[in-house]
Structure 1
Amino acid sequence: MKLIDDGGCPYFLDDKYLDKQFEDYPLSSTYLEDAASLIQRLRRKMYGAISEKPLKEIWSLFVPPYSTKPKAFYELNAIVIPYGVMLRPFSTSKSARYLQMATVGSQIAKVMWQHFDETGSYFNYKGSQMDSLTADVLSSMGAVTNCLEEQFQTQKFVIDEGITVKYQLPESLTVNSRLADVGGIHLAFNTMMKNNSGAPLPWLSTHMTKEQLYFLTIAQSMCTKSGVYQYAVSMFEEEDLPPFLRVEDMARNSKEFIKAFSCDAKKVTQPACEPFTLVKETKAKPFESNH
């Protein structure tokens, strides 16, 4: 798997490359016209890439350097980590291990796990599509996929204004994102526990364990203050579910979370959907990075 972590410097700092890319979009004297023209160019490039064999630099259409979300590209067998992820407050070399794994670590683990979701599992290490998966893989994947789809039926939530909102989405539209969330949190947690170092946080650590702080930090990194309109739009336009649903998934489907907070098993209304384990420790070749 290839790790693209140079922030796009080979492309964004190449004047000749940029001039060629924007030659059909001359700038005007009006900011709004220029902004609309550049957005139109980006959308055309993005949708024009559908059904074509992806170019090596296709990720630059989907991941600007200031983005705070890594992305996986199946046919490139690559994950892209933009500079925005590596900056404060998401990343600092002085952070405790459990904080690093809960922020940058969990995000990287999620996009790694996307190569094992219902789509990524059909691509091999060269980025080529495979004809079929083994019976064991299909069985393991099917079990957790069915579990997640059963959980995601018609649901409702109550917003601050006391309004009850009901919604229904096709389970298949969310299953890949939820698979990656469940698997990524599991992978990052186990990585953290292998080296659970770092000074405990003042004040909080007197009441919470490192494991609890790990999950609390993940929830904080997911959450944002938005209104019901933004939640509704994000359900149909964003790759991820709204933050509160992602946190709910974590609390429901992570046995590590249930153990860390000593949750009462009798009050868990639905079974946890554990990630199927396809990742094993090896001494294989490390990531190939173009940094």
Structure 2
Amino acid sequence: MAWLTPAARAEAAAKVARMTAKVGYPAAWRDYGALEIRRADALGNRDRARRHEWLRLAALSGKPVDRQAWAMSPLEPNAFYDPMLNQINLPAGILPAPFFDAKADDAANYGGIGTLIAHEISHAFDSNGAQFDSRGVQRDWWSAADHAAFDALTTQVVARFDAIEVLPGARVNGKFTLPENMADLMGLQLAWRAWRSLPETGQASGGAERFFPAYAQQWAAKRRDERTRQLLASDPHAPPSLRANFPAMQLDGFHETFGTREGDAMFVPAQDRLRVW
């Protein structure tokens, strides 16, 4: 992370060393035996389910934190980073294609699930992650110089996204989407470096041409314009097409792989590319 001073880099390294991951499903499944489900009683089932969940949470009061408990259903196609536990969470629902394919090569899987994992890890080192140290203690472990350098970088990111008109009269809110935009940038750049660091056997011929499409496939989506306008005002993530294209356009490897040149829609001059690592 280019903005961190040596002292902050040492704490960042400790944070990585202590980071754990919940992958797939929990070791102990949640017990729903006391929850009563009745046929033809949807409203009652909802109310009983809510009551059951409230009682479960209330029973945790005053007890030590269970670091093995899952906050997300294993079926959910999502992932997140927990700064207080310093954990990344990758439930089974996010692991099938297009994110991960056991039959695919390293290039495709680093471009797919690799970028997702790197995205979540990177949240430990953004403006939110700066509030929690390697042990999950809430304290600012960045110096004034770290914050200033980070602000200089993020000011550029905010300005770039603010300038993007997704639909006539509808623009991305660069400040609102900043944490996720930074994680997308850091995630793709880190996954690319990780794949490139593999032994030569892991970089099969044409691998780069599979890395980037595998990344882009994560963001395949089809929406009505009305839904897009709604999400521009409420979703802290940029629209999927931007999540696919913008981070790739900042990466030298993308331009080298596809031989982009001035005049191409996705070309960005080398001096204007946003570099995080």
TM-score bucket (shorter structure): 0.7 to 0.9
TM superposition shift of 1:136 = 4.2
Counterpart in the other structure of 1:117: 126
Name 1:226's counterpart in structure 2: 223
Instruction: Kindly state the Cα deviation for residue 131 of structure 1 after the two structures are TM-superposed.
Output: 3.5
> Which amino acid in the other structure matches residue 178 of structure 2?
V
The answer to whether the 8 Å contact 2:176/2:236 transfers is: no
Candidates 18, 28, 40, aligned match of 1:10: 28
Q: TM-score, normalised by structure 2?
A: 0.75
User: Structure 1 89/152 Cα, relative in aligned 2: closer, same or farther at 3 Å?
Assistant: closer
Q: Distance in 2 between matches of 1:259 and 1:235?
A: 32
Distance 1:56 1:237 in 2: 32
Of 85, 94, 111, which residue of structure 1 is paired with 2:103?
A: 94
Structure 2 alignment gaps of length 5 or more: 1-18, 59-63
Q: Of 80, 83, 87, which aligns to 2:92?
A: 83
Structure 1 residues 217, 88: closer, same or farther in 2, change over 3 A?
closer
Q: How do 1:106-185 and structure 2 match up within 5 A? A: 106-157=115-166, 164-185=167-188
1:1-291 correspondence to structure 2 within 5 Å: 1-12=19-30, 15=31, 18-19=32-33, 26-30=36-40, 32-33=42-43, 36-37=46-47, 55-56=65-66, 60-61=70-71, 63-157=72-166, 164-195=167-198, 197=201, 209-264=206-261, 268=268, 271-275=272-276, 277=277
Q: Deviations over 1:236-277 (max 9, x none)?
A: 4444222112123123322222222222257537922211x4
CA contact (8 A) 2:36 2:45 kept: no
Q: Quote the sequence identity (%).
A: 19
Report if the CA contact (8 A) 2:132-2:140 is conserved.
no
Name the amino acid aligned to 2:224.
G
1:172 partner SS: coil
Q: Secondary structure at the match of 2:226?
A: helix
Counterpart Cα distance in 1 of 2:65 and 2:118: 24
Deviates more, 1:69-78 or 1:25-34: 25-34
Letter in 2 for 1:176: P
Deviations 1:209-231 (A, max 9, x none): 32132111111122222222332
Where in structure 1 are there 5+ consecutive unaligned residues? Answer: 49-53, 158-163, 278-291
Output one character per residue of 1:125-166: Cα deviation in whole Å (capped at 9) or x when no partner.
111122351244223322321110111215323xxxxxx433
Distance 1:58 1:235 in 2: 35
Partners of 2:240 and 2:52 lie apart in 1 by: 27
Return the alpha-carbon distance in structure 2 between the equivalents of residues 8 and 107 of structure 1: 20
- Checking the alignment, whether the CA contact within 8 Å between 2:171 and 2:232 is kept in structure 1 is no
TM-score, normalised via structure 1 length: 0.72
Partner SS state of residue 151, structure 1: helix
